[in-house]
Amino acid sequence: MFRPSSGHQGGSPRGLGGRGHMFKGPLPKTKDRKATLLRLWDYLKEQKLLLSWVFMLVVLSSVFGLAGPLLIGQAIDNYIIPGDFKGLLLIAIIMGVVYLLNALFSWLQSYIMIGVAQKTVYKMRTDLFSKIQTLPVSFFDRNPHGELMSRLTNDLENVSNTLNTSITQIMASLLMVVGTISVMLWLSPTLTLVCVMIIPAILLTTKKIAGFTRKYFAEQQQALGELNGFIEENISGQRVVKLFAREEKSIDQFAKYNGKLKKISQRAQVLAGLIHPLFNVLNNIIFALLVGVGGWLVLKELITIGIIASFINYLKQFFRPLSQLANQFNLLQSAIAGAERVFAVMDEKPEQDQPGNRTGPDRIRGEVALQHVSFGYQKETPVLKDISLRVKPGQTIALVGPTGAGKTTIVNLLTRFYEIDTGSILIDGQDIRSFSRNSLRSCLGIVLQDTYLFSDTVRENIRYGRLTATDQEVEAAARIANAEQFIKRLPQGYDTVLSDDGGNLSQGQRQLLTIARAVLADPAILILDEATSSVDTRTELQIQEAMLSLMQGRTSFVIAHRLSTIKNADLILVINDGEIIEQGSHQELLTRQGFYYELYNSQFTVNESA
């Protein structure tokens, strides 16, 4: 497995160093609602047996629900009007049992469906998180982390909430509508015709409102993702916000995102909320017609009073499922919008090894060669231009140059975080593209300027470099990295639990732990990306001492900010504007009095004046 020494692997196309151009943009969203529903069904159908039980319970619940109003009419005509108390008592008991069974079957179907929904969303969440682990660094460069978090949480929670209730309610509502119409036709075709005259108006209204709500619910999910992205970035960068006194600007930006979400959500909810009042109005109109026409039919002795009573109850059962169908349709729109965003990530192209890629040897000698390598994060803007170099096993190579020259990009290509445009990179004479990424990265140890620690113990953060390492090996790595002294001063020593990203440690202490992690990984090729630039001079000396020991017998690439730290490098490559403009030892480059000479003296002058 790849053993990173720090976790900053996204956020910029300069994936290792966290510097460079930012590419941000929305993830593509599917537009095919039918395709999205079919993909949801692919997850649901894994539990077809439980869904069959749910369907059976829905049918039973609907049957008992339909029996209730019929029994009310029978009670009025056969027992209340004739004054048969015993018969009325018996039918009342039967009605109680019917309604009790209706409630029991309704509860059972909900209980089973909640389990089905949670298992389905569990599988979707697992698949989404697993897919994210396979995506290339460039994907995270394009998409804010908060936006991805929104898809893992808010969007999937939307799907979960809808599956919990919508499937059973839609099935029950459809059965109740069909069953109610059938019984009403059997009781009185004339009254049924009066009642169904208004249905076309209901369907047209629902369709019109649903068309708007689907659009706004999709926009609501997008706006929520943008808001989450901003919040995540703002909280992560609180120190920078406070340092530059940008609190008011952050509040203004938050107000913009929050206002956009409020506006879109308000539109969606207002439109969705129109359905219930409209149904009430239509309900009252039908009740008025039912009383008038039904009373006339009773006077003509064409129907009984019990039939009118049954019809009134059936009308409630008829319009309640219609209303529920409309409401569930709105919820379904929201779930589809969330599912589309989830599936959009799942459809992203993962990092893939070519068929036949070798796993590679457990250990390598560490000979590295770049042959005419060119690369650009954007094709029209090359970052590296025809770079060639050869590194012998065990050599220490320092890469120096101004920011944006292409130093970190070389490391990004060596680790295959990005693929080169032209040329080739060889390790021990083999093109790195012929090996699987995991086997390639398992030979590399990387320490970055931007540290990342997990919310776990100090011991487990170091053990991340090699998960099979013993406690003794973890502690030995900490000693080599000169980290043991401060670790023992922590409240629980190696068992001290770190806060998010090691917030309860200093920057220098966090860096020492990431170096200990790299020591434990015991890589054949070591990459140090300005690993000491964030620590004080005394800590830097401790790290340098540990690094000299660690680099013995290993091929090492050192990206240096402080040129004084690379005096002993076997070869220094001076990179500017994507090209190697000078190379040689420290003393050779100073003697030439070229670009490196000016760069070194400018740092020396600045340090002296400081």
pLDDT higher than 90, residue 93: yes
Residue 22 falls inside a structural domain: no
pLDDT of residue 72: 87
Same domain, 202 and 317: yes
**CA gap 275, 335 in Å, rounded:** 19
Domain boundary among 346, 381, 411: 346
- Determine the number of helices (DSSP H) and then strands (DSSP E) in the chain: 21, 10
Same domain, 474 and 421: yes
Residue 27 falls inside a structural domain: no
Interval 103-131 mean pLDDT: 91
Q: pTM surpassing 0.75?
A: no
pLDDT of residue 3: 36
pLDDT of residue 209: 72
Alpha carbons within 13 A on the beta-carbon side of 278? 20
Residue 21 falls inside a structural domain: no
- Taking each helix axis from N to C end, the angle separating 537-551 and 507-521, rounded to the nearest 10 degrees, works out to 0
Residue 398 falls inside a structural domain: yes
Of the candidates 481, 474, 486, the one whose C-alpha atom is nearest the C-alpha of residue 544 is 481
Same domain, 450 and 327: no
pLDDT higher than 90, residue 101: yes
Mean pLDDT of the chain: 81
pLDDT digits (tens, 9 = 90+) for 333-369: 778 888 888 888 888 888 877 765 666 555 678 889 9
Which of 306-310, 418-422, 561-565 has the least mean pLDDT?
561-565
pLDDT higher than 70, residue 97: yes
Same domain, 403 and 305: no
Which of 11-25, 62-76, 392-406, 524-538 has the least mean pLDDT?
11-25
Same domain, 423 and 525: yes
pLDDT of residue 239: 67
Same domain, 374 and 261: no
Contact 431, 468 (CB under 8 A): no
Query: Going by C-beta distance under 8 Å and a sequence separation of 6 or more, which residues neighbour residue 184?
Result: 191, 192, 195, 311, 314, 318
Question: Range of 578's domain?
Answer: 368-609
Same domain, 321 and 434: no
Domain boundary among 284, 315, 346: 346
Of the candidates 610, 571, 576, 570, the one whose C-alpha atom is nearest the C-alpha of residue 594 is 576
pLDDT of residue 53: 92
Please give the tally of structural domains in the chain.
Answer: 2
Interval 450-479 mean pLDDT: 87
- The CATH number of whichever domain residue 593 belongs to comes to 3.40.50.300
Domain boundary among 314, 346, 378: 346
pLDDT of residue 362: 57
pLDDT digits (tens, 9 = 90+) for 587-602: 898 899 888 888 888 8
pLDDT higher than 60, residue 6: no
Residue 453 falls inside a structural domain: yes
pLDDT of residue 546: 66
- The CATH number of whichever domain residue 319 belongs to comes to 1.20.1560.10
pLDDT of residue 336: 85
Interval 115-131 mean pLDDT: 90
pLDDT higher than 90, residue 56: yes
